Amino acid sequence: MAQKILLKNINVPGINTFEVYRQYGGYAAVEKALKTMSADDVVEEVKKSGLRGRGGAGFPTGMKWSFLAKPEGVPRYLVCNADESEPGTFKDRYLMTHTPHTLIEGMIVSSFALGANTSYIYVRGEMMPQIRILEKAIAEAKNAGFLGKNILGTGYDLEIYVQPGGGAYICGEETALLESLEGKRGNPRIKPPFPAIAGLYGCPTVVNNVESIAAVSWIVNNGGDEYAKIGIGRSTGTKLISASGNINKPGVYEIELGLSVEEFIYSDEYCGGIANGKRLKAVVAGGSSVPILPANLILKLSNGQPRLMSYESLAEGGFATGTMLGSGGFIVMDEDACIVRNTWNFSRFYHHESCGQCSPCREGTGWMEKVLHRIEYGHGKMSDIDLLVDVSKKIEGNTICPLGDAAAWPVASAIRHFRDEFEWHVNNPQAAMDGNYGLANYADPIPVVEEAN
């Protein structure tokens, strides 16, 4: 059995309450950190652990923390990003619903490490039930002396507040989130300055994903070196994967990084194979923003080796044959899924969610949506396919925040790997309305490229 860190006790009845969570060893990390370690010691352990941000970008958490400015007399903030809106991603909701104290404990230890005395958890507004769950968990922890003034008699003060969003994907982007937390529209800020220098209310701020913060308690308890032993290479530790689409067992799974993609999809411990006896056509491995891969490329690298669930292995081959781990939103499509329709759907999403500040993103996403709609609905021209590639290139890299790239990549990658299916739509407008190109050759073995060394 693979090691579990975040979801180890998920099936224990009552683990959502302080009492049971504590019985199972909860809040030991708070005692250890506050009573026996300095803030810098905690940062050091997190650095050693190799933990990388679980919100999507994979930036090393310890390094991010060490960039935090510490001017005299200025408050510092930790803001937890619980905006979770990337299509395909639902792990943070799962963790907060079933084991909220795992997040609260991580928040306390992380706030201590950063020297924050007020911290916020920004939860997407639609998660009202989770907001209530977190508020209850905070009240319980406070009651037991783990929050508030002079925690455990150590002299450290901390308040944690839960902030609801208003419904906007863009508020998951960290500077849009900070704007929103200040009571404004969620328009991303131009960087620099980075939040580590000027974040919430202009003060030094760290923004971290729910899962990153939740992992810190285990690292404090067991040491960064122990954490780094789990996983593979620079992909240390465990990762929550949200598995959805045409599989037998959709849900949230905690994996040790380095598991093979094939095992993740087909073994009964995880997805349990493709539903209804169908065959695998494509996977979007890290949330809607990352490039889609056909079955043959997601299962194997170009040298014929199995592809693994790790930052490096998923990215192997660059955008030509690879993708990204992203937020771990693993969307599986079977032979009946229509790639054109799905691509249109995603581009509609990005158009809807663009904040409108930059013209390449605002106009380009609308344009891509329109062209994809016409291909899907039988009015496409062959030249539309190259037009889409062209628009996606004009957005990529030309915007204030990465939403532009996130909108461009799914379209560019779908055309790169499934051009046949787009052409089939143009050539067979009638059939394309309610059918699709099927599995075609997308699961066929690919020629193995010999490595140079």
Ligand X SMILES: Cc1cc2nc3c(=O)[nH]c(=O)nc-3n(C[C@H](O)[C@H](O)[C@H](O)COP(=O)(O)O)c2cc1C
Dist. CA 162–CA 322, nearest whole Å? 37
Judged by CB under 6 A, does residue 54 bind ligand X? yes
Judged by CB under 6 A, does residue 171 bind ligand SF4? no
Which does residue 207 bind out of ligand SF4, ligand X, another protein, none, counting CB within 5 to 8 angstroms by kind? ligand X
Question: What is the CB neighbour count within 10 angstroms for residue 346?
Answer: 26
Residue window 181-210: x/- pattern of binding to ligand SF4, with contact defined by CB under 6 A: -------x----------------------
Dist. CA 215–CA 219, nearest whole Å? 7
Query: Is the N-terminal amide bond of 193 cis, ω within 30° of 0?
Result: yes
Residues in CB range of 28: below 8 A, 6 or more apart? 217, 221
Residue window 376-415: x/- pattern of binding to ligand X, with contact defined by CB under 6 A: -------------------------xxx--x---------
Judged by CB under 6 A, does residue 67 bind ligand X? no
Element (H, E) at 331: strand 329-334
Site for ligand X in 155-214 (CB under 6 A): 170, 172-174, 207-209, 212
Asked whether the beta carbons of 374 and 348 are under 8 A apart, the reply is: no
Which does residue 201 bind out of ligand X, another protein, ligand SF4, none, counting CB within 5 to 8 angstroms by kind? another protein
* Residue whose entry in the numeric block shows the structure tokens 């009651």: 143
59 vs 67 by CB, closer to ligand X: 59
Element (H, E) at 329: strand 329-334
**Among 18, 21, 90, 311, interactor with another protein by CB under 8 A:** 90
341 vs 416 by CB, closer to another protein: 341
Asked whether the beta carbons of 77 and 119 are under 8 A apart, the reply is: yes
Which does residue 400 bind out of ligand SF4, ligand X, another protein, none, counting CB within 5 to 8 angstroms by kind? ligand SF4
Question: What is the CB neighbour count within 10 angstroms for residue 274?
Answer: 21
Question: What is the CB neighbour count within 10 angstroms for residue 163?
Answer: 17
Which does residue 57 bind out of ligand SF4, another protein, ligand X, none, counting CB within 5 to 8 angstroms by kind? ligand X
**Among 83, 256, 369, 421, interactor with ligand X by CB under 6 A:** 83
**Among 55, 58, 195, 250, interactor with another protein by CB under 8 A:** 250
**Among 18, 146, 156, 169, interactor with another protein by CB under 8 A:** 169
Asked whether the beta carbons of 68 and 144 are under 8 A apart, the reply is: no
Query: Binding residues for another protein, how many (CB under 8 A)?
Result: 55
Residues in CB range of 11: below 8 A, 6 or more apart? none
Task: Decide: helix, strand or coil at residue 277.
Answer: helix
Residue window 342-361: x/- pattern of binding to ligand SF4, with contact defined by CB under 6 A: ------------xxxxx--x
Distance in Å, CB of 303 to another protein, minimum: 31
Distance in Å, CB of 121 to another protein, minimum: 11
Judged by CB under 6 A, does residue 368 bind ligand SF4? no
Query: Binding residues for ligand X, how many (CB under 6 A)?
Result: 24
Dist. CA 280–CA 443, nearest whole Å? 7
Short-list 358, 387, 360, CA closest to 371: 387
